[in-house]
């Protein structure tokens, strides 16, 4: 295979060496016991899991007992919603913006009534509309939960999470923050933020797929989404994904070193700024989202004159992997609701994202091949609007 350039880290990032070493170490250890069992082998595994929990908690600004390991961000978000569905909070609607990830929007909708809070043209939640949605009215009880992502997964726009938490708490409403797109790219401190629930996923930051966490801060409580055992202090049944948890802990330790996240963010910002400059040099290309107040690893582009899937496939054939919000290039049957709510053309969007393994060569390859692909496609269909 010819040289490939992976620029889709916002979907999933390659496994970090620290994570691979943790998994290999577990495989070589010869200890595969259930950490819930009361024998030496079980205690050894339990000790390893709890050390990983401490590492993840430290990265998230939480206490270890507040961290519930899950199968990923999707399960964590669904578990956050379970506090409403299963009566762990007062019944009421959930406030959700169209910028939220589908895992959040659909989980909230499944639980009952949803009050949609609008977003602006860069994908940022409208605080005035949120405050209006927080007010109890005749025929509509006070919301039971507000969902607010830390940063948007499509365009990278950072949400005013601190203001959302303060405003919601002022009205006596709990907040779930989806930090999956932010973890490892900005400092995530659950205690400082004051959010009641925070969900994250390991594979977005170089951990393995199949493991994530939900931070449940007191006095918030959640009912278990999965039942059948008392694992995770009765908050998530099923034997723990031990190798995944150990790998997540190893990634957390690597990111927790002083300055590690700031250094990675600075490098990512430099590279996405270069990607953005190269793309905007092509006629008919615009940036979606807030190009200044964004997570450093994501940029989203609108390409006039060609369908996004054609650009994605053209880049893929040229050895560059990116993502698109177009329905044709994803598993969904509809284009990105985030981009549609922003009022931009989701059928012509390309998301480019960098990560820990991105090189300058990857950036240069995109800059060179993006212009070539767009020009070739426009030449083939010169009348496409």
- Per-residue pLDDT tens digits for 104-130: 999 999 888 899 999 999 999 999 999
Average pLDDT value for residue range 283-310: 95
Worst-scoring range by mean pLDDT, 11-25, 135-149, 229-243, 261-275? 135-149
> Is the model's pLDDT at 181 over the cut of 80?
yes
Higher confidence at residue 139 or residue 4?
Answer: 4
Neighbours of 68 (CB within 10 A): 25
> Is the model's pLDDT at 44 over the cut of 60?
yes
Active site amino acids: 328
> Is the model's pLDDT at 242 over the cut of 60?
yes
Cα–Cα distance between 221 and 84 in angstroms, integer? 10
Its pTM surpasses 0.85: yes
Listed by start position, the domains of the chain span: 5-14+259-380, 17-256
- The 10s digit of each residue's pLDDT in 185-195 is 999 999 999 99
pLDDT reported for residue 43: 95
Worst-scoring range by mean pLDDT, 158-167, 212-221, 310-319? 212-221
Q: Does domain 5-14+259-380 have CATH number 3.50.50.60?
A: no
Q: At the topology level of CATH, where does 17-256 sit?
A: 3.40.640
- The 10s digit of each residue's pLDDT in 159-176 is 999 999 999 999 999 999
Q: How much is the mean pLDDT over the chain? A: 91
Check: CB of residue 36 under 8 Å from CB of residue 50. no
Q: What is the largest CA-CA distance in the chain?
A: 72
360-380 and 260-280 helices, crossing angle to 10°: 30
pLDDT reported for residue 50: 97
Worst-scoring range by mean pLDDT, 49-58, 138-147, 249-258, 320-329? 320-329
> Is the model's pLDDT at 328 over the cut of 60?
no
> Is the model's pLDDT at 315 over the cut of 70?
yes
pLDDT reported for residue 383: 54
Q: Which candidate, 346, 317, 342, 350, places its Cα nearest to that of 333?
A: 346
Average pLDDT value for residue range 214-240: 90
* Residue in the block written with tokens 């767009």: 374
Cα–Cα distance between 215 and 167 in angstroms, integer? 20
pLDDT reported for residue 327: 45
> Is the model's pLDDT at 384 over the cut of 50?
no
- The 10s digit of each residue's pLDDT in 63-94 is 999 999 999 999 999 999 887 655 545 567 89
The encoded tokens of residue 48 equal 């390893």
Q: Give the rounded percent of residues in the chain with a pLDDT score beyond 90.
A: 80
User: If pLDDT is split at 50, 70 and 90, which confidence band does 257 have?
Assistant: confident
Cα–Cα distance between 293 and 152 in angstroms, integer? 11
Cα–Cα distance between 199 and 213 in angstroms, integer? 6
17-29 and 242-256 helices, crossing angle to 10°: 140
Q: Which candidate, 259, 215, 202, places its Cα nearest to that of 61?
A: 215
73-85 and 102-111 helices, crossing angle to 10°: 20
């Amino acid at each position: 295979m010819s040289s490939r350039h992976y620029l889709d880290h916002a979907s999933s990032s390659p496994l970090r060496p620290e994570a691979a070493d943790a998994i290999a170490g577990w495989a070589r250890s010869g200890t595969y016991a259930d950490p819930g069992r009361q024998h030496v082998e079980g205690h050894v595994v339990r000790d390893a899991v709890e050390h990983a929990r401490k590492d993840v908690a430290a990265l998230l600004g939480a206490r270890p007992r507040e961290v519930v390991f899950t199968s990923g961000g999707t399960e964590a978000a669904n578990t956050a919603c379970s506090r409403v569905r299963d009566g762990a909070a007062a019944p009421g609607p959930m406030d959700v913006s169209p910028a939220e990830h589908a895992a959040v929007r659909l989980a909230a909708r499944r639980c009952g009534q949803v009050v949609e809070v609008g977003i602006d043209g860069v994908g940022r939640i409208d605080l005035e509309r949120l405050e209006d949605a927080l007010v109890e009215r005749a025929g509509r009880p006070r919301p039971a939960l507000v969902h607010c992502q830390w940063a948007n997964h499509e365009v990278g726009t950072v949400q005013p999470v601190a203001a959302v938490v303060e405003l919601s708490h002022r009205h006596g409403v709990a907040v779930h923050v989806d930090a999956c797109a932010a973890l490892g790219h900005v400092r995530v401190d659950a205690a400082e933020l004051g959010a009641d629930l925070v969900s994250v996923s390991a594979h977005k930051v170089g951990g393995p797929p199949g493991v994530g966490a939900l931070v449940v801060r007191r006095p918030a409580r959640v009912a278990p989404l999965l039942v059948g055992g008392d694992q995770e202090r009765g908050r998530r049944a099923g034997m723990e994904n031990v190798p995944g948890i150990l790998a997540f802990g190893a990634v957390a330790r690597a990111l927790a070193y002083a300055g590690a996240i700031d250094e990675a963010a600075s490098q990512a910002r430099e590279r996405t700024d270069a990607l953005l400059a190269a793309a905007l040099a092509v006629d008919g290309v615009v940036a979606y989202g807030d190009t200044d107040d964004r997570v450093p690893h994501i940029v989203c582009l609108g390409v006039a004159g060609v369908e996004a899937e054609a650009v994605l496939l053209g880049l893929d054939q040229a050895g560059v992997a990116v993502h698109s919000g177009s329905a044709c290039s994803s598993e969904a049957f509809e284009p990105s609701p985030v981009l549609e709510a922003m009022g931009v053309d989701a059928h012509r969007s390309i998301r480019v994202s960098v990560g820990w393994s991105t090189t300058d060569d990857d950036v240069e390859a995109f800059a060179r091949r993006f212009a070539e692909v767009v020009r070739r496609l426009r030449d083939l269909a010169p009348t496409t609007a």
